Structure 1
Amino acid sequence: ITKNGKCVAKLSQFQEDDEDMVKEYALQYGASKRVTYEAYLQLVEDTDERYELIDGQIYYLAAPRFKHQVAVNEINGHFYNWFKGKTCRPLSSPFDVKLFNRAEKFEDDPNVVQPDIIVMCDEEKVSKDGKYEGIPTLVVEVLSKSTKSKDMVKKLHLYMHSNVKEYWLVDPEREFIQRYHFEDRELVDNVMFTKGMTIHSMVFEGLTVSVDEVFNW
């Protein structure tokens, strides 16, 4: 990848997948070198492409496919109706979330992600220029074949260590939703919900979603 005529990153395949599927790539700035937040900002400046910065590596976000978007829309629709008039607010991607694992501040361990859906209960953490500087209470990620490793491992640990309270991992191919519940940056509950079941939030009492409606195709 070049910027202003200079090479700023090299593409390397993140995970081996079928040739006919959309792939997501990790952008590596040299062997075993962590990418700085400044380098990340330089890359994303004046571009419509979407990237995430996780544990010092940059990941290009490929365009989602049909089932992914159906699942996102179904869950976000339920969230929108349920949270209407309440103090917390659901938002869907693209929307930057800045996390920093167990560090004291963002500058010590900068991570920038774009979850498919978040529920934010700290709207006072939105800056004057519209950037969110808080920690979402609930995060939803819908898997694609090329993002499974990142969403199931890297992001799971990032959300847990960053003090997110609940994480829904949605698999549209195998048609299940995995619900992770965190307390004090530790995993305290992990339950799978399949078709015919209704997932309920551990953090927001009364928030439920039918799994059948999520996988409505």
Structure 2
Amino acid sequence: MIVNSTELQNNFGKYLVLANQEEVIVTRNGNPIAKLVPVTYGKMLSERWPSSEIIMESTAKYNDSLGKSTYEEFLELTKDNELRYEYIDGQIYMLASPKTEHQSALTELFGNFYNFFQGKPCRPFVAPYDIVLRTSSNQINSVQPDLAVICDLEQHLGEDGFYKGVPALVIEILSESTRRKDLVSKLNLYMEAGVKEYWIVNPLNKEITVYLFEDLNIKDSTTYKNGESALSFSFLGLSVPLNVVFARPY
């Protein structure tokens, strides 16, 4: 099946379903640019279709790469599209809906952060909220961290209503489909882009690791286990009990 990029954007869900039955070739100006294909567990799709553009992050237990694209192509794909995407190191990721365990942890974290930052100049924001970051090599990236603490919103709020700065603190909650990206790609991205502190929340083993970045390096890090309270390096007094974050949601 062959479909142009505009039709794909307008009916993406339909073509994801059709891709389970046959390959869907995507064209732009009559030229093939990408291919939607059924995924195969345990095998990287980038080894099979290196010319494709999108990384599919599904609710299943894998995280597959389909190749590179430009930032302009990412903007074209996501324009007026209700699906959620991230763009990291030239790769497009489509984000799956989070599970209950993930949302329960996020709710508890946001509640703690909201209470702590009441009356303070910084504010916590939860996904979906686009953050555009540039690395030291000037690579443009667009991410939707689970939670971000922003302290310079007034100075960096664009006329289009989007935030243009760098968060002081970012939190990502791991899932089986995102753990590699969160542990490696996003850690490097946040460090290079100027984020001061990065929390990795792991519901799988009920741990929270807090990284402190300085001069494009990891200055310090601490891993907190269930029963302890995670402490912020940057914000004195910010403390989150892990038994609350990882409490059963039912």
Q: How does the TM-score come out when normalised to structure 1?
A: 0.88
C-alpha separation between the residues in 2 aligned to 1:94 and 1:102?
Answer: 25
Matches for 1:74-153 after TM superposition, within 5 Å: 74-103=108-137, 108-123=138-153, 124-153=155-184
CA contact (8 A) 1:25 1:60 kept: no
C-alpha separation between the residues in 2 aligned to 1:14 and 1:182?
Answer: 37
One-letter amino acid matched to 1:75: L
- Unpaired runs of 5+ in structure 1? none
1:61 matches 2:95: yes
CA contact (8 A) 1:138 1:164 kept: yes
CA contact (8 A) 2:62 2:176 kept: no
1:202 to 221, 224, 233: 233
What RMSD, in angstroms, separates the aligned Cα atoms of the two structures?
Answer: 2.2
- Unpaired runs of 5+ in structure 2? 9-25, 27-32, 44-57
Residues 74-101 of structure 1: CA distance to partner in whole angstroms, max 9, x if unpaired? 0011001110110001000000011111
1:10 to 20, 25, 35: 35
1:185 matches 2:216: yes
Question: What secondary structure is seen at the aligned counterpart in 2 of 1:4?
Answer: helix
Q: What is the CA-CA distance between 1:10 and the residue it aligns to? A: 3.3
Instruction: Give the percent of matched residue pairs that are identical in Structure 1 and Structure 2.
Output: 43
C-alpha separation between the residues in 2 aligned to 1:28 and 1:141?
Answer: 23
Specify whether residues 14 and 136 from structure 1 end up closer, same or farther in structure 2 by C-alpha distance, changes over 3 A only.
farther
One-letter amino acid matched to 1:63: S
Specify whether residues 211 and 2 from structure 1 end up closer, same or farther in structure 2 by C-alpha distance, changes over 3 A only.
farther
| Superposition misfits of 4+ residues, deviation over 6 angstroms | none
Q: How does the TM-score come out when normalised to structure 2?
A: 0.77
> Which structure has the greater CA radius of gyration?
2
Specify whether residues 74 and 45 from structure 1 end up closer, same or farther in structure 2 by C-alpha distance, changes over 3 A only.
same
1:170 to 198, 201, 209: 201
C-alpha separation between the residues in 1 aligned to 2:4 and 2:238?
Answer: 46
Higher relative contact order (CA 8 A, sep 6+): 1
